[in-house]
Every structure is written in C-alpha cells, then in structure tokens.
Amino acid sequence: MDKIIVTGGKPLNGEIVISGAKNACLTLMPAALLTDEPLTLTNAPRLSDIATMTDLLRSLGCEVAALQSGRVLALGAETIASTRADYEIVRKMRASILVLGPLLAREGHAEVSLPGGCAIGARPVDLHLRGLEALGAELDLRDGYVHAKAPGGLKGAVFELPFASVGATENMLMAATLAKGTTVLKNPAREPEIVDLARCLRAMGAQIEGEGTGEITIQGVERLHGATHRVVADRIELGTYMLAPAIAGGRVELIGGERALLGAFCDKLEEADIAVEETARGLAVSRRNGVIRPLHVVTEPYPGFPTDLQAQMMALLSLGSGESVLEERIFENRFMHAPELLRMGARIDVHGGTARVTGVDTLRGAPVMATDLRASVSLILAGLAAEGETTVSRVYHLDRGYERLEDKLSACGAQVERVKG
C-alpha cells in the first residue's frame, strides 16, 4: 500500500494548475445516460473516483473513452444495456447513486445498490428517494438495493428540500429534464457543481432556470441531445492548495482559481491574516506577517464554508496564535483527522461537532494514517510545516480526489515523495 513521505520546513513558491472538479465530473458523467447521443466532457480530472464511475457507466452499457491523456471523456449511451447498478461497483463511491435519476427518467426503471464511500457519517440517500417519489417514482428498498420504477414516466412536481442536499438536487435535476411537465425545486443546493450540471444539461437541450438560487425550475422535454462541456475548476482542490503556502510559508499562484468559487473560505483566510490576491491567471496566496490569527469556522452549505475544507483548515489553525473553534454542521464523524494531528503535536479538543484548536509553535513529523479523502490531505499539509519527516499511510483515499498531488507540491519546492507499497 502506497505511502507519502513529507519532509517539512520548506516554503513554497511557484504555481499550481487547478484541475477540473471531481464532484462536478462525477455528476456530469451520469448525465450521459439521459441521451442516446454523445456527451463530451473536457477538463476532466484523472482520479480513481472517475475510473470507478467509468466502470459503473460501462456496466450499464455506456461507452466511455478517455482521450488526451484522460483530460477529455467521450461518453455515449446509444442504448442502455442494463439498469442494474451492482453493489461491487457502487460500494466504492457514494456518487454512484447519481445514476438512479437518469436511468429512471430514460428507461422507466432502475435497480441501484445503496452506496459506499468515505466513513464520515451516515449521509443517507432518503432525500434522493423522497424527491424521486415526488416525481412519481415507485420505490422499494430490499436486499440492499433501491428498486425504482415509473411505468407511466416521471411527472413534474413541486418539491421543497428540507435541507440543501447536493446529491439529491443533482439526482432530481437530471431526472426532471425528461419528466412530463414542470418541476420546481425549492431550497436546492447552490454549489458551483450544481450550476455546472445545469449548464451542461442546458447545452444538451434541457430547459432549466434558476440554478445557483433558492429555486430551480425545470420544464421537461421529450429528449436530450449530445453536447460538449468543460468541467468547472475544482474548488476543493483550489482551497487545499491555497492553504499550502499559508501553512508552509512562501507564495503560490493557483492557475484557474476564482474567488467566486470559495468566497467564504477566502474571507476566513484573510481573517487569519493570509493574503489572497486575484491575478490575471487565478489567485495568489501568501502569509502576510508570519502570524496565523485564530478563527471561528462553521461549515455550512454553499455559499458558506465548505465541509470539504474543514480538515485542511484545522491543519492551518494548529499553528495559529491562539484558540480557534471549528463547528462541523454538515457531517458527523468528520474530525477523525484530529487524533492523527495530535500525533504531530497539535492541541485539539473535540466534543461532538465542535473542535477547539489551540495553536502551537511547531508541529513534529510522525507516522500518521489517513481516515478519509480530506483528512489525508490535511495530514500532508501539516507535514509541510512540521519538523522532520511525516509518513502518511492509506493514501488510496487521497487518490480519489487529488491528481498528482506530490508532483504539484514538489514543483513549488515542497519535499513530498510517494513510496510504492
């Protein structure tokens, strides 16, 4: 099993190109099931999760070709060979549930295994199911599978989400494009990945208005056609690499970064006295005066502070000048990185959904273990500033969401090495 070894104490200087968004691409790929014409996605990231979604789509009869070294994905579902998404594939990744809406909308029936993914809380799919039921789907959960059918086709409806679930919004948005009549989603998720999906679906002929606001309206159409769409930049990768020079020192320019993708996060960085500068090619980040001010961070749905950057921010605040508070309001069990940071000398006290972080002058390198995707990269970030050597094991989590991380950081002067296991 691969490990990553980080030798700390080296400031970072240079530039990092931000890849296409994993979470956006994983949503866009199932959209290919909505049409019998080709869908081409450019600026695709090369990640293990993308490979898993590729395997799942191929099992359903969708052709997937990776072109230009994987940067372009050509998808074609001229026919649907199977409407069963098997457990052996779905268990690897929660985003697999996103084939349910498209299959149901196009074929009128589907069997999709309940999904797996990072162990960061229950993250139930009940809201996906309630939304599809509102569109007329008949659902039966048995033997670990969602058995769904809509014999007369899906029908438009008004559905208010009790909370702004990203996945449920995506599943309903795709399903509603082929439903009869008008669908109104109230209190939908507003993330840039939702906006990106709506733009892609619109390019395929869908009639959608209001993405990125508190209400999305979808007028169903009889069929969608092919399109070419560029995947939006990965805002979580962007935020992660913005934190690298904040933690290690130096100045790094993030090519393709946009403040609009991470407004609340950028505000918190500046509150901590980290400089965030808009450039002609993206964003540049540096520490202003060597002191990291303490923060109170609360994770919230977009446009609030992203839960997917909470672990990385904890690594930064471990080196802060006082006590910081992080409140996790999206997922339970998402402080599993805290015990590993403690091994590196951090001072963290966790009670329920709140972590109190008292900054220390120095972290120390140590052997640590990644527990989930974002936790894994938080340990690498901490290692950039730690004295000595940090060895991060179980980095298969990392490969689900970060493309060539060691190469990108090394190009800016970090000493980061992958050791094959």
Catalytically active residues, by annotation: 118
The CA distance from 12 to 7, in Å, is: 13
Of the candidates 173, 43, 41, the one whose C-alpha atom is nearest the C-alpha of residue 105 is: 173
CB 44 within 8 A of CB 25: yes
Give the residue numbers of the binding site.
22-23, 94, 123-127, 308, 330
C-alpha pair distances (Å), 60 with each of 51, 78, 125, 148 = 15, 11, 21, 16
The CA distance from 260 to 271, in Å, is: 17
The CA distance from 21 to 302, in Å, is: 15
Give the residue numbers of the binding site for phosphoenolpyruvate.
22-23
Give the residue numbers of the binding site for UDP-N-acetyl-alpha-D-glucosamine.
94, 123-127, 308, 330
CB 326 within 8 A of CB 317: yes
The CA distance from 135 to 150, in Å, is: 9
The pair of three-digit structure tokens given for residue 359, joined into one six-digit string: 């900054």
The pair of three-digit structure tokens given for residue 314, joined into one six-digit string: 């904890």
Q: In this structure, is the dihedral angle defined by the CA atoms of residues 189, 191, 193 and 197, taken in order, positive or negative? A: positive
* Amino acid sitting at position 105: A
